[in-house]
A = this chain, B = another copy of it.
Amino acid sequence: MRKLRVGIEGGAGFAGGELIRILLGHPKVEIVSATSSTFPGQPVFMAHPNLRGRTALKFSLKLDYERLDALFMAGGHGDAMGEVPAIIHQSAKKLRIIDLSGDFRLKDPELYPLWYGRKHHSPALLKSFSYGLTELNRPSIAKSRWIANPGCFATAAAIALGPLARGGASGTVAVTAVTGSSGSGASPSLITHHPTRHANMKAYKPFRHQHVPEVEMILEQLAGRKALKLSLVPVSGPFARGIYAVCQAELPKGWTLETVKGHYQDMYGGSAFVRLVDEPPTLSAVNGSNHCDVFVTVQDGRIGVIAAIDNLIKGASGQAVQNLNVMMGWDEKLGLDFAGHYP
C-alpha cells in the first residue's frame, strides 16, 4: 500500500526533529521533504545529530505541496497564518495540514490579538481548523482536514482539567506549570542561556500566557458552557524536556475523591496515552514518550491535579502525529507506541 506522503515545514527546530524521528518509525508514512532555512541542502543530522545514519534525508528550502498528502507546519508562531491561504489554494484544499503554531487554535477571532499582541491575517480560516487536543476533541479531529495542534502548557493543563470541566466544576483553577528549556526552541536566547537557566527557576508572563485562552476554550466546549477559568503561572525550569503542571481548585459541593476519580476514569479509562497514576507523576516517567501522566487528590475541600508530559512529544510532535492518525482513521498509536528511556 502506498504510504502517506508528508512534508515538514521547519524541520530543523526541536519539534521538527522529533517529528522526523517519530515519522521515520511510522509504518504508514513517508517523509517526502523537510525544510530548513538554516541548513538547506544539508543532511538532517546537521540539526539533529541523533538521526545520523538513520535517514538520508536532506533539508530543502521549499516544499512542493502538490506532491504531499499531509503537511506538518513546525515553523515559527505567526508564520502559518500568512502561508496557509496560499497552501490551501495551491493544494486545492486536498492537503491535510497540522499546524503546530498558535496561529489557528483560538476560534474566537477577537482573542488572537488580545493574547498574541498582533493582528490575525486569516481570521476566516480559524473555524476550519480543529483543535488538536486529541483526547478531548477526537470526533472533531476525525472529521477534519486541518488541525491546530495545541500548545505544550495547554496540553498539560487541558488534560489535567478536562474531566473537571466535563464533570461540571466551575470557578478558577490555580495552575503553576514548569517547562523545560527545549520549549523555547533551537535558537539561543537569554532565557535559555545555560549559566542562568541551569539550577534556576524563573516565572514569566504570570496570568498572561497565550496558552490560557485555548485551554478555557476547550474546557468550555467540554462543559457546554463557560466553565473553569485558568489562572496560570508558567515557570522556566532547569531541565531540557517536560512540562509539570500543578493544578489546584475548590472541590465542588457534594463531590468526593471518588466523584473526582470517576470523572477521570470516565474520560481516560481507555486512553492509549493518558495514564492515571496513584502518586504524583514525574517527568522522567513520560519524557521521550507521548504519554501524559495524571494524578488526582482531594483534601479538605481542595482538588489537586498534577499532569506531566514531554513538551516536545505529547506537547508538540507526538500529539501532531496522534492527530494525523485520528484524521486518517488509523490506530491512534501508530508510530507512537514507545516508552522513553528511564532514568
Task: List chain A positions with a Cβ less than 8 A from chain B.
Answer: 14, 17-18, 21, 24-25, 48-54, 172, 174, 176, 178, 180-182, 184, 186-190, 192-204, 206-208, 231, 233, 235, 237-242, 244, 246, 248, 250, 275, 277, 280-289, 291, 293, 295, 297, 299-300, 302, 304, 306, 308, 310, 312-313, 338-343
Contacts and interface: CB of A to CB of B under 8 A. Distances in A.
B241 A49 contact: no
A231 B176 CA distance: 13
Given A174-B174, A200-B239, A246 B233 contact: yes
A193 to B, nearest CB: 4
A233 B248 contact: yes
A50 B286 contact: yes
Copies of chain A in the complex: 4
B341 A282 contact: no
Contact of A246 (B176, B180, B295): B176
B198 A194 contact: yes
A238 to B, nearest CB: 5
Given A49-B284, A178-B178, A201-B308, 16 more contacts: A50-B284, A50-B289, A50-B339, A52-B277, A52-B293, A174-B248, A182-B195, A182-B343, A188-B189, A192-B195, A196-B284, A198-B238, A207-B302, A231-B248, A237-B238, A288-B341
Contacts of A21: 339, 341-342
B200 A181 contact: no
A207 B297 contact: yes
A165 B161 CA distance: 30
Contacts of A24: 339
A283 B50 CA distance: 9
B275 A52 contact: yes
Nearest to A205: B280
B181 A48 contact: no
A73 B308 CA distance: 33
A286 B53 CA distance: 12
A310 to B, nearest CB: 8
A188 B198 contact: no
Contacts of A280: 202-204, 206
Nearest to A54: B339
Contact of A188 (B49, B190, B242, B281): B190
Given A50-B341, A339-B50, A201 B178 contact: yes
Among all A-B residue pairs, the 5 with the closest Cβ atoms: A49-B285, A174-B174, A176-B176, A203-B280, A207-B299
